[in-house]
Amino acid sequence: MRDTTPHHPPPHVGPGRRALLTGALAAAGLAAAGCAPPDALLTGDTRLRQWNLFSGGDGLRMIEMHDAYRAEHPEVDFRATTFTWGSPFYTKVAMGAAGGRGADIATVHVSRLESLAPGRLLDPVDPALLAEAGIDDTVIPPNVWEKCFFDGQLYAVPIDTHVLIQYHNLDVCREAGLLDADDRLVQVSGLDDYMAMLREIKAVTGAYGLSVDTWQPWPNFWALYRQQDGELLLGEDDFTMDDDKALAAMEVMYRLSEEELAPRHSMLADTAANLSNGRAGLMIHGNWEIPTLEAAGTAFSASQFPDVFGNRRTRGDSHCYVFPHQRDPDPERIRAAVGYAAWMLRHSLTWAGGGHIPAYRPVVESAEYEALHPQSAYREAAENVQFEPEAWFSGSAGRLQEEANGPLTTLHQGTQTPEQALEQLKGAIRDLLTVPSPV
């Protein structure tokens, strides 16, 4: 939350009108040139500026955590600013860093690390300084920790893992006889058993078995593709993709809507509404939808992404802290930024309330997290997370998602076969490879 409270220097006694006028003109000149003295110089506090992209429920939790941080750190002049999610935010971070006048610390997706040009737009994190604050590879899952490195240097500090999970409407699934004594969904393995379960649920709802987002289907495709060990290797001017495994993933998506087990059109709030109003008994969506269902008063629980191809791998990402390049780095502010990141990790139980799986192991292993439901039921998904391939156009809010959603949406709409959609997807990837990185 932006702090708009003005900070003024204490009044002085003694200077005459000429001195006051000279000082005022000098201050005005500095301000006009964009060089007015920072508030921290006037208050004596350590100045710390943070940029993030959190709104809605995530934004409210972040504000709560920031208020607690300020209360515990009165010596830090801390201010956080929230920008529009997606491309506008990443453009803002890049432009600020390019001028050496960005935030001291920013929250981004670890999948976008390469697109932010580590070494030029981002400054590396000193692992020794981070370890002094209590954060190292012993308290972060290794599969997430390794994503924070670029060319052998640490550039990010992860706060969470967020993944696709499967929600279930308790009333619908209980009527279908698919819950155990603890209201956990009966686990099935393989496509045939999963489709059979969806038919049982549809017999209860009269509409669908599963609600999925057909407007942004790339994450679902990536999860199904990676469950088969499908690889997407992106070179400078060519790529490698397993057509057979891609077609198998697309066939699942096509069948879900073709057999009327999932809607042909569902976007934004529609997807969660289908589960809340009982038109579907299951929903595949990000773990960030927990606050939406709670606000709707839905009786629900959740588990990991369904086992369609012999495992529970799922598409995911990690929110992490990065340090935008500073033209004149201040060691005191760098230390404050690292301390802030470590504090946020240690207090990420609040963050977990919104559905995200904390990256800080002591929180996930705590009794307090065990008591969080349904969050504790899918925490193993952090070990099964499948990040997108490394490229400047990949990752959350990246061009790859934008371009891939078009052909994949046609599978749900029934306007293209999997074979046709695959060719269109591969063409989109080829086109992206011809576009130079903007940074």
Q: Domains in the chain and their CATH numbers?
A: 46-159+318-379 (3.40.190.10), 164-316+398-434 (3.40.190.10)
Residue 44: what pLDDT? 58
Question: DSSP 3-state assignment of 158?
Answer: strand
Using CA atoms, how far residue 211 sits from 195, 201, 278, in Å, is 13, 11, 10
Could you tell me the two tokens for 173?
A: 């699934």
Q: Please write the tens of the pLDDT for every residue from 307-358.
A: 999 999 999 999 999 999 998 899 999 999 999 999 999 999 999 999 999 9
Residue 42: what pLDDT? 45
CA dihedral 169, 170, 172, 173 (to 10 degrees): 100
Distance CA 149, CA 140 (A): 13
Q: Please write the tens of the pLDDT for every residue from 198-249.
A: 999 999 999 999 999 999 999 999 999 999 999 999 998 899 999 999 999 9
**Which DSSP string do the residues of 4-23 spell out, in sequence order?**
-----PPP-SS--HHHHHHH
Distance CA 285, CA 297 (A): 18
Distance CA 63, CA 268 (A): 24
Residue 438: what pLDDT? 82
Residue 236: what pLDDT? 87
Distance CA 247, CA 166 (A): 22
Residue 233: φ, ψ to 5° = -100, 115
Number of Cβ within a 10 Å radius of residue 274: 24
pTM over 0.75: yes
Distance CA 370, CA 379 (A): 10
Place of tokens 């001291």: 104
Give first-to-last CA distance, the chain, whole Å.
29
Could you tell me the two tokens for 393?
A: 């156009």
3-state SS, one letter per residue, for 108-142: EEHHHCHHHCECCCEECCCHHHHHHCCCCCCCCCH
CB 162 within 8 A of CB 286: yes
Could you tell me the two tokens for 275?
A: 């589960």
Question: DSSP 3-state assignment of 340?
Answer: helix
Residue 16: what pLDDT? 37
| pLDDT < 50 regions, the chain | 1-42
Residues shown for the chain: 439
CB 250 within 8 A of CB 408: yes
Q: What angle do CA 178, 182, 185 make, to 5 degrees?
A: 30
Residue 100: what pLDDT? 82
Distance CA 159, CA 318 (A): 7
Report the sign of the C-alpha dihedral through residues 313, 316, 319, 323, in that order: positive
Distance CA 339, CA 341 (A): 5
Distance CA 216, CA 153 (A): 33
Could you tell me the two tokens for 51?
A: 């940029």
Residue 176: what pLDDT? 98
